[in-house]
Amino acid sequence: MKTLGKKIRLLRQQKGWTQQDVAKKLDVSIPAFSKMETGITDLNLSRLNQIAKIFNLTLVQLISNSETDDVKDYTKEIRFLNEKLQQKGDEVIQLRKKIIELYEQLEKDNPRP
């Protein structure tokens, strides 16, 4: 059951939802949902169907172990994209420095009266 809870947590994070967001959708308290994610609470078929529906999955997809691998692959893609984003951020910083240098040179070459 802990594997299923971990999968639910990963799916929630993938959507960018908080525990409170999902707890509201399930009409349960945040501590009750937290227990579902940690595997403390055993989930009945009705609750599993409800959770699957929230994440736009079938019950089989939710409880299948192979889907966990898909979520992990998505996490790798996010890391790769974050690295690219960091590189682009570094490029922006270098371009800003260049603009400042050019502006300072322009001010130096053309002093104001």
For the chain, what is the domain count?
Answer: 2
Based on the domain organization, do 82 and 28 belong to the same domain? no
Kindly report, residue by residue over 54-109, the tens digit of the pLDDT: 999 988 888 887 544 455 556 777 788 889 999 999 999 999 999 999 999 998 99
Q: 75 and 91, same structural domain? A: yes
In this structure, the answer to whether residues 60 and 14 fall within a common structural domain is: yes
Specify whether 57 is located in the same domain as 73.
Answer: no
3-state secondary structure the chain: CHHHHHHHHHHHHHHCCCHHHHHHHHCCCHHHHHHHHHCCCCCCHHHHHHHHHHCCCCHHHHHCCHHHHHHHHHHHHHHHHHHHHHHHHHHHHHHHHHHHHHHHHHHHHCCCC
Output the pTM of the full model: 0.56
